[in-house]
């Protein structure tokens, strides 16, 4: 199926950020990457901020889709443990440079960060302010372990061999949702899948 111009623009914007950083994201750089005119870009994204917001929404949707594939179902049909196990499988992939740059840029901007927060809210649960039960504590620590592996690979400059990454992901997912408590999981996503 042919990609829409909007999707082509967002994919091109991702490549620009991946290669040259967020500050290099201009109408001119994206037009050069897509072969579209600046007017064609303006039709879909009337400002640079709208383009950045669209890129965040596009990447968050891809992340949400990966989580659903890992769970083998949508978040509304998965148990909390199944959702978190899917999160562990997907979070144990290393991030791209573009994802890191975009996430860092939005850390203190709630409106821009909203698409990412919505995905997190569907697939994970934030710990309560009250003391956690032993089970809640275990699940939260396992989520932090998945996040830690994501950051480890993203910041260390090296990646784990794919087999070891899958082994770690499956270990975390198994600790979160033991076989007796969950349906058959979806396949663990391959490294670099987006």
Domain 1-46 class? mainly alpha
Is the pLDDT score of 169 beyond 90? Answer: no
> Which tens digit of pLDDT belongs to each residue from 5-42?
999 999 999 999 999 999 999 999 999 999 999 999 99
pTM (2 decimals)?
Answer: 0.81
CA–CA dist 82, 61 (Å, integer): 19
Q: CA dist 90 to 15, 161, 166, Å?
A: 21, 16, 10
> Which tens digit of pLDDT belongs to each residue from 38-72?
999 999 999 999 999 999 999 999 999 999 999 99
- Superfamily of chain region 59-181: Tetracycline Repressor, domain 2 (1.10.357.10)
Is the pLDDT score of 192 beyond 50? Answer: no
Locate all alpha helices (DSSP H) within the chain, ordered by sequence: 5-20, 27-34, 38-44, 48-71, 80-91, 97-105, 110-123, 134-156, 162-176
DSSP letter string over 36-92?
Answer: --HHHHHHH-SSHHHHHHHHHHHHHHHHHHHHHHHHTS-GGGS-HHHHHHHHHHHHT
How is the chain split into domains, by residue range? 1-46, 59-181
């Amino acid at each position: 199926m042919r990609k829409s111009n909007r999707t082509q623009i967002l994919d091109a914007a991702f490549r620009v950020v991946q290669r040259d950083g967020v500050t290099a994201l201009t109408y001119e750089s994206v037009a050069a990457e897509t072969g579209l005119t600046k007017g064609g870009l303006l039709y879909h994204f009337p400002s640079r901020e709208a383009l950045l917001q669209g890129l965040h929404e596009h990447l968050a949707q891809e992340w949400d889709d990966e989580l659903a594939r890992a769970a083998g179902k949508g978040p509304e049909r998965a148990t909390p443990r199944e959702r978190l196990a899917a999160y562990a499988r997907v979070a144990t992939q290393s991030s791209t440079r573009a994802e890191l740059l975009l996430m860092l840029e939005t850390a203190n901007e709630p409106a821009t960060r909203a698409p990412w927060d919505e995905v997190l809210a569907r697939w994970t649960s934030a710990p309560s302010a009250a003391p956690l039960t032993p089970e809640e504590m275990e699940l939260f620590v396992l989520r932090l372990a998945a996040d830690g592996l994501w950051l480890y690979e993203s910041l260390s400059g090296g990646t784990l061999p794919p087999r070891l990454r899958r082994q770690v992901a499956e270990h975390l997912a198994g600790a979160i949702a033991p076989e007796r408590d969950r349906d058959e999981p979806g396949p663990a996503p391959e490294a670099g899948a987006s």
